[in-house]
Amino acid sequence: MASINLIEAFQEFKEAENIDRPTMMKVVEDVFKTLLRKKYGSDENFDVIVNAEKGDLEIFRRRMIVEDGAVADPLAEIGYSDAVKIEPDFEVGEELYEEVNILDFGRRAILAAKQTLASRISDLKKNVLVKKYGDRVGEIISAEVYQVWKKEILLLDEEGNELILPKSEQIPQDYFKKGENIRAVVKKVELKNNSPVIILSRTSPSFLAKLLEIEVPEIFDGLIVIKKIVREPGERAKVAVESYDDRIDPVGACVGMKGSRIHGIVRELKNENIDVINWTNNINLLIQRSLTPARITSMDLNNDTKQANVFLKPDQVSLAIGKKGVNIKLAQELTGFSIDVYRDTEGEPQEFDIDLEEFSDEIETWIIDEFKRIGCDTARSVLDLTPEELERRTDLEKETIDSVRKILKEEFEKE
């Protein structure tokens, strides 16, 4: 039997389990029909039969038997005398099936066909991978750490596909070892040098959204909707939720009894603080809730400029701003408003005070900015806190703090 063994090529198909058999057989058929067109000029009267199980390929040529001298198309017809040489029982008007010896194509043509086949298989694998993960963007997957590099981690999924978790998509406190299973969300699928690259993320808001969906059945069922998530990975996140059922408290459902639902997510996110708040279209109330855990006293809003001036008791200012300014930054992202925090001294004896900017000739600007970051924008607000408290809240050295306090005290003594 004239056939060519393609077991090696078929084996590649077998490994790519997501490539279905009809697609596989069609690709093989197309490759060899191309060979036929090159040799005979047409593939219309040829049947390519693929046996995927054995890895065999057979090609049959179909021609109509006509009277001698009546052959108009040699590709589709054969003279009676030539036909009976193949099989003596043939008669005019019958269709002759003749097996084509693939070796007649020549060694070079067969080798080219196998190379083309391998290339098509590779392209199919890429397309399958792109489709598989393109449809899963935004979903959480679990994968095994295969290699840890400085700028990224290479992971393998259950089918051995390579996935990438860049350093920029890792939580700062993340530390993974080879062989460890980690969870991440599929962020995007890119093509680099015509090869698909699947990028994962643990810092994306969608990662937190999916974790909440897993832990909170009411979100999965659509009874609670996540309106918006903002994150400073590893530090703090704010999640605004809304319930479509008046009987369900969305915040309580997300947090769970004694924090049972949120604790697992916090651990997964390396102790990231998660503030769950009720969504509202009332912007005053939304800003107030977004500054959790701080409690505000009053607020001035300008909807045209998207500016909010928030007034708080002195002991609430640092809570509103948060460590390294994270809390107020996330509140601004959540609400879409620029928020400025002010100390509310109404009802308290008014004391003479001086804005820190007035000391810019004696205190460097970056030091003033550091005090402002923790809500200390006047001389008295700095002096009201102990040196130890200032050292704990800021990134300033003890000597710098002592020097600044001395300058401020001297100014008040002058007065």
Ramachandran quadrant class, 130 (left: phi over 0; alpha: psi -120 to 50; beta: rest): alpha
The answer to whether residues 75 and 125 belong to one domain is yes
> Which of the listed residues 164, 180, 201 is the one where a domain comes to its end?
201
The answer to whether residues 176 and 102 belong to one domain is no
Could you tell me how far CA 203 lies from the centroid of its own chain?
Answer: 9
The answer to whether residues 59 and 147 belong to one domain is no
The answer to whether residues 374 and 387 belong to one domain is yes
The answer to whether residues 20 and 124 belong to one domain is yes
Quick one: tokens of 298?
């009053």
DSSP secondary structure code for residue 94 in this structure: P
CB–CB of 274/265 below 8 Å? yes
Tens of pLDDT, residues 121-179 = 777 778 778 888 888 999 999 999 999 999 999 999 988 889 999 999 999 999 999 99
Tens of pLDDT, residues 220-276 = 999 999 999 999 999 999 999 999 888 899 999 999 888 889 999 999 999 999 999
Q: Which residues of 375-389 are buried (b: 16+ CB within 10 A; e: fewer)?
A: bbbbbbbbbebeeee
The answer to whether residues 125 and 32 belong to one domain is yes
Q: Using only C-alpha atoms, what is the Rg of the chain?
A: 37
DSSP strands (E only) in 255-295: 273-278
**Going by DSSP bridges, is the β-strand pair 152-156/162-166 parallel, antiparallel, or unpaired?**
antiparallel
> Which of the listed residues 107, 131, 155 is the one where a domain comes to its end?
131
Asked if the structure places residue 88 within a domain, the reply is yes
The answer to whether residues 100 and 150 belong to one domain is no
The answer to whether residues 173 and 92 belong to one domain is no
Domain holding 117, by residue range, is 4-131
- CATH number, residue 196: 2.40.50.140
CB–CB of 195/212 below 8 Å? no
Pairwise CA distance, residues 288 & 227, whole Å: 17
The answer to whether residues 47 and 110 belong to one domain is yes
Residue 87: partners with Cβ closer than 8 Å, 6 or more residues away:
96
Residue 6: partners with Cβ closer than 8 Å, 6 or more residues away:
28, 55, 56, 57, 114, 117
Asked if the structure places residue 158 within a domain, the reply is yes
Burial of 374 (0-12, 13-18, 19+ CB in 10 A): buried
Could you tell me the CA-to-CA distances from 347 to 53, 225, 384, 401 in Å, in that order?
Answer: 88, 41, 18, 30
> Which of the listed residues 178, 201, 224 is the one where a domain comes to its end?
201
Asked if the structure places residue 64 within a domain, the reply is yes
Pairwise CA distance, residues 222 & 74, whole Å: 68
Q: What's the pTM?
A: 0.64
Pairwise CA distance, residues 7 & 133, whole Å: 29
**Per-residue pLDDT at 337:** 94
**Count of structural domains within the chain:** 3
Question: Please, what sign has the CA dihedral across residues 18, 23, 29, 30?
Answer: negative
**Per-residue pLDDT at 40:** 79
Tens of pLDDT, residues 328-370 = 999 999 999 999 888 876 655 445 677 788 788 888 888 988 8
Pairwise CA distance, residues 379 & 100, whole Å: 97
The answer to whether residues 98 and 18 belong to one domain is yes
- Altogether, the residues listed in the chain come to a count of 415
Tens of pLDDT, residues 300-330 = 999 899 999 998 888 788 888 888 889 999 9
The answer to whether residues 34 and 84 belong to one domain is yes
Give the confidence band of 15 by pLDDT, cuts at 50, 70, 90: low
Asked if the structure places residue 307 within a domain, the reply is no
